[in-house]
Amino acid sequence: MPGSSCRSSSGWPANPLVRKTYGDSFEDTDLEDVLEASGVGRLVVSGAQTDACIRSTIHGAFVRGYDVTLVGDAHTTEDLSEWGAPTPDKVIGHTNMYWQYQSAPGRTATVDDTADVSFAPAGAVTA
């Protein structure tokens, strides 16, 4: 179907597909090789399961030397409060709060809302 985003359709870009098994998207995958081959030094992370996959991946990226931007209004998690976990809004809020205070030599950890995320190279002038 034209314009479709299904993997095998003509609308799917010819980008690498990295399949993962563990919460950390780097664990037992070729993600780091794929990123290195493309010269990527900064990751912009969004998605599902804030308290598992998102946290594991942002920490995995950070310890591997990547700058990491967590998109604060573009990650979510399921409600596990029935089993004693905080409600999703608290999990998301806490993750956004603590991620903005991460620091390490030569790396940045930031939290930006979707409207504020830029994919322009550092120092580039945007309109």
Is residue 4 in some structural domain? no
* 25 assigned to some structural domain: no
CA 14 to chain centroid, in Å, comes to 20
- In this structure, is residue 24 part of a structural domain? no
Question: Three-class SS of residue 93?
Answer: helix
Does residue 45 form part of some domain?
Answer: yes
Q: Which of 86, 58, 56 is nearest to 72 (CA)?
A: 58
Beta pairing partners, 47: 75
Range of the domain at 80: 31-114
Q: Which residue has the tokens 């900064």?
A: 42
CATH code of 63's domain: 3.40.50.850
- Provide the whole-model pTM: 0.84
**Number of domains comprising the chain:** 1
Question: Is 11 inside any structural domain?
Answer: no
What is the full per-residue pLDDT of the chain (127 aa) written as tens digits?
A: 444 556 666 666 677 889 999 999 999 999 999 999 989 999 999 999 999 999 999 999 999 999 999 999 999 999 999 999 999 999 999 999 999 999 999 999 999 999 999 887 666 655 5
